[in-house]
Each structure stands twice: as C-alpha cells, then as structure tokens.
C-alpha cells in the first residue's frame, strides 16, 4: 500500500529558498476578480439609481393618475351640473325660452266651485292666446313656442324670397371673380 502522507521536505535555511517571480496568471486572476468586483459595484450602483429613477417615475405617474381621476370627477360633476333641471331652466331662460307651466292655477279651485273646468294651462305673465289654448297634457317644444320679440330688439324687415336669391347669386358671383383674380395674380 502506498503511503499517502509523504513527509514534506522543508528547507532548513530560508535564505537558501529559491524565490522566483509570481506567475502572470495570478495577476490575471486578481485583475479579473477586481473587474468582477468593480462591475458588480457598477451594476449595483446602476440598479440603485435606476430603481430610484423608476421610483420617481412611479411616483409621478401615481400623482398623474390621481390628478386624472380628480379631473374625471370634476368633469362628471360639471356634466351633471349642466344636465340638472335648474341649469337647463337657467340656460333656456337665457336663450329666451320660458316655462309655460309656471303659472298653472288648476290646483287652486274654489270649494264653492262645484263644476270643475278642464285643466288648461295659463301663463302667469303672458296672456298670449296661443299659450292658453294648449292643453296641459301637451308639452310645448321649441317649434311651438310663440316667439315674442324683445322690446330692445329692432324689428327685422321681411325680405322677399326673390331678393334673397338675387343677393345670394351676386355674392357667389363676386366670390368666383375674386378667385379668378387671385389665380391671374399668381400667374
């Protein structure tokens, strides 16, 4: 059987030991390790800063999302406000429409009045016969609405249809002439 633990022959004198130069492979290994370490640090640093950057972007996006949600809520609210009956009424009034059912007095019928008349709408301010004749069940549309000229507005003179046609033709003619002149000028 072969003896495994062969005694190592230590040199008795250190000075007599032959010290040669370090092999280049050592340097290569050390350099590689150094590179790996540096690359590791570099990558870690890069990841750290990237994560910070992402964190910042994430935070900004989160804020943006919240802002958009808030904006959405605001828009929904604005839509609801504009759809509310009070707002529609206000806008309609500003456009010149008025409430035909506002002055109905069909509820206030005297106790002594034994015979109830049919329920007709009565305009509270305007006693226009066109309105009085409309029964309660019919809702007036914009087309049925009797147009009442505002006192400040100047009455518009009616223009005959033939005159209107002539005017339109003249305008079209002038437009064509102008276009032709422009083309000539370009040339």
Closest distance of CB 171 from other proteins, Å: 41
Q: What is the binding site for other proteins (CB under 8 A)?
A: 51-53, 55-56, 58-59, 62, 66-67, 70-71, 73-74, 76-77, 80-81, 83-86, 101, 104-111, 113-119, 135-138
Closest distance of CB 49 from other proteins, Å: 10
DSSP 70-86: HHHHHHHHHHHHHHSHH
Which residues neighbour 155 within 8 Å (Cβ) at sequence distance 6 or greater? 149
Closest distance of CB 30 from other proteins, Å: 29
Closer residue to other proteins, CB minimum distance, 23 or 118: 118
Closest distance of CB 173 from other proteins, Å: 46
Which residues neighbour 103 within 8 Å (Cβ) at sequence distance 6 or greater? 121, 122, 123, 124, 125
Closer residue to other proteins, CB minimum distance, 60 or 174: 60
Residue 35: strand, helix, or coil: helix
Closer residue to other proteins, CB minimum distance, 66 or 170: 66
By the 8 A CB rule, do 100 and 136 touch?
no
């Amino acid at each position: 059987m072969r003896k495994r633990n062969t005694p190592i022959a230590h040199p008795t004198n250190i000075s007599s030991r032959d010290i040669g130069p370090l092999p280049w492979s050592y340097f290569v290994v050390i350099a590689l390790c150094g590179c790996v370490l540096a690359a590791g640090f570099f990558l870690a640093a890069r990841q750290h800063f990237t994560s910070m950057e992402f964190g910042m972007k994430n935070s900004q996006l989160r804020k943006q999302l919240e802002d958009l949600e808030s904006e959405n809520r605001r828009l929904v609210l604005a839509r609801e406000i504009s759809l509310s009956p009070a707002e529609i009424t206000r806008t309609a009034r500003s456009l010149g429409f008025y409430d035909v059912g506002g002055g109905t007095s069909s509820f206030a019928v005297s106790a002594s009045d034994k015979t109830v008349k049919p329920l007709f709408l009565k305009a509270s301010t305007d006693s226009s016969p066109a309105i009085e004749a409309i029964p309660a069940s019919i809702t007036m549309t914009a087309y049925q609405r009797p147009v009442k000229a505002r006192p400040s507005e100047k009455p518009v003179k009616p223009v005959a249809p033939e005159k209107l046609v002539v005017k339109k033709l003249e305008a079209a003619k002038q437009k064509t002439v102008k276009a032709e002149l422009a083309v000539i000028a370009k040339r």
